[in-house]
Amino acid sequence: MNTELTGVVATFLLTVLLAFPLGKYICAGSTQPKK
Amino acid sequence: MNWKEFLKAMLTINSLWFVYAFVMFLLQGRLPLNPDGNPSMTPDLGFNTAASFITNTNMQFYSGETGVTYLTQLFVITFLQFVSAATGVACAVALFNALKEKTTNNLGNFWLLLTKTVTRIFLPLSIVIAVLLAFHGTPTSFDGKDTVITMQGDTVQVSRGPAAAMIAIKHLGTNGGGWFNANSAHPFENPDYFTNMLELVAQTIIPIAMIFALGFYINRKKFAWVTFIVMTLGMLCLLVPTIVSEVRGSPAIAHMGIAQPTGAMEGKEVRFGPASSGYWSILTTVISTGSINSIHDSAMPLSGLMQLLGMMVNAFYGGCGVGLLNYFIYVIVAVFISGLMVGRTPEFMGHKVEAREVKIAALVTLLSAFLIKGGTAIASYILIYHPNANWAFKPSGWLSNPSYHGFSEMLYQVTSANANNGSAFNGLNGNNIFWNVMTGVIILLGRFLPIIGPVAIAGLLANKKYIPESAGTLKVDSMTFGIMTFVVIIIITALSYFPPLALGPIAEYFSMK
């Protein structure tokens, strides 16, 4: 069961770790309208 | 575009997509790319499915193996999974633009935002995820059903299709509609623990990334972190009881003296186990994906309660873009209440929040409660007073379970429709005119009014004169305001939904003790 819980925690942390740079990318160029 | 032009563009293109999808579902049986010879949909099922997929809901009252063709799976369903998610992101960016500028009536160009979101976010990420899924065993073939002889010696027909591409955007776009009927519990749709992790990350990454994007975009990173903490706290409040109750196992089975060393395994895949299945069930309900890797109908009553709450709040991360819009409504209510508490005119990021904005926020908040409780009440009334009505599918055949659980099945279906989630307690037989039409209408109202409301509020606020921050300004990026928002969410949800929850999962929980 501990392995299962570790999997859950690892999955969430991995998501946040990847979401942060993706958020920066979304802001930087992908959706910003032209002035 | 100002907020009215922006919303007009959004509604116009969504109307066209609806007509396109509806016509395609009605004609699919006569169109190409149908190797299994699947039939066209009935008008009521076509209406429900078209409404479901243009709104990012993906409620499926059909079986993926027999109810749609490769043509409609790819050129209607997968197409809508891209553009419906991009619609949510575009509307969220309109909110970002309103918050970024001191005073403006320009919320951005909807068409530009939509196109860029599809081509620069969803397409590249989907390609990566689809390739990873294909290498782990998810089919990517245009061949029809395969004939397989099982270990027992039975001959069975196994559905295939170009599934990997669709499953990638199904998760990235918080869509949730499965290629196969069993969704991500199917061994082709989610073959192993790696793909399980991959699909979990895929369905959560854009909603969380949008929170950080907000912080970068309006240059208020602290506000983004406070928002992330509040949402994560809310998600954990739902997740921890779920995992605990699933890992402990069923009290009904324990009363029979049967040990449950692996927890409550009814309706779960052995390759995922109860903890990961519980985690998936909460994530998929808080972010409005609606995909499943276990059967929610078999979850413990406490888990069912948490899944329902996740959809009722619909703002702990939430769907692509729309989660932030829903959270914004709660923020406006929190700003208004905070203003009343200190006796000042409420302000949010330098703009006065006045009666019109608060009325819109209140209407959007009350709308969800009205649709969920009203829809469930109508279904319950018909089931109790007209169980043998002379319909093609009699109401007495709707439910697989009696009593509290049967009520929960109806409540869950309506809640899922309103939250644009799409998942179901699978015990409800929903493919009939009543459920197709009622949930179809709720899906449309539950999608577009909660988008129109926040974008209108954002447009109205952005038009107002900017008031520079002073010592008396409410600090919306403080943890105190974050806690205030969290409390507002809890109070609104508790007041709105406690009665139906008490009749369903709460009563079932105490009956099993």
How far does chain A reach from its first CA to its final CA, in angstroms? Answer: 53
- pLDDT at position B179, please? 93
**B342 or B44, which is more confident?**
B44
Whether the CB of B98 is below 8 Å from some CB of chain A: the reply is no
Helix (H) or strand (E) holding B499: helix B479-501
Give the relative orientation of helices B433-463 and B3-27 as an angle to the nearest 10 degrees.
160
**A34 or B364, which is more confident?**
B364
Query: Distance between CA B65 and CA B180 in Å, rounded?
Result: 6
Residue B87 pLDDT > 60: yes
Selected residue of A6, A15, A24 to mutate for chain B interface (largest B Cβ count, 10 A): A15
Whether the CB of B334 is below 8 Å from some CB of chain A: the reply is no
Choose the closest CB to B209 out of A5, A11, A23: A23
Helix (H) or strand (E) holding B155: strand B155-158
Under the banding of pLDDT at 50, 70 and 90, the label for residue B249 is very high
- Residue B331, sorted as left (phi over 0), alpha (psi -120 to 50) or beta, turns out to be alpha
Residue A33 pLDDT > 60: no
Query: Distance between CA B155 and CA B54 in Å, rounded?
Result: 38
- Name the residue of chain A whose CA is nearest to B193's CA: A7
**B64 or B27, which is more confident?**
B27
Average pLDDT, chain B: 94
- Chains A and B: how many Cβ contacts under 8 Å? 94
Under the banding of pLDDT at 50, 70 and 90, the label for residue B215 is very high
Residues B324 and B92 sit within 8 Å (Cβ to Cβ)? yes
Q: What ipTM describes this predicted complex?
A: 0.91
Least confident of A9-18, B50-59, B150-159, B468-477: B468-477
Choose the closest CB to B212 out of A7, A14, A20: A20
With tokens 């970024």, the residue in question is: B100
Least confident of B199-208, B469-478, B488-497: B469-478
Q: How far is B327 from chain A (nearest CA, A)?
A: 17
Choose the closest CB to B212 out of A10, A12, A24: A24
* Virtual torsion, Cα B413, B319, B175, B86, nearest 10 deg: 140
Percent of chain B at pLDDT > 90 equals 88
Query: Distance between CA B220 and CA B475 in Å, rounded?
Result: 12
Residues B136 and B195 sit within 8 Å (Cβ to Cβ)? yes
- pLDDT at position B356, please? 94
Q: Do B97 and A8 touch (CB under 8 A)?
A: no
Tell me which chain A residues have a C-beta less than 8 angstroms from the C-beta of B245: none
- pLDDT at position A1, please? 63
Mean pLDDT of B78-88: 96
Q: Do B208 and A23 touch (CB under 8 A)?
A: yes
**B473 or B189, which is more confident?**
B189
With tokens 């192993």, the residue in question is: B192
Q: Which of these, B53, B60, B63, B62, lies nearest to B87 by C-alpha position?
A: B53
Q: Do A14 and B197 touch (CB under 8 A)?
A: yes
What 3-state DSSP class applies to B352? strand
Q: Residue B37: phi, psi to the nearest 5? A: 65, 40
Residue B240 pLDDT > 60: yes
Contacts of B54 (CB under 8 A, 6+ apart): B14, B17, B18, B21, B80, B84
Tell me which chain B residues have a C-beta less than 8 angstroms from the C-beta of A33: 93, 97, 106, 108-109, 112-113
User: What are the tokens at B415?
Assistant: 């809640």
Residue B182 pLDDT > 60: yes
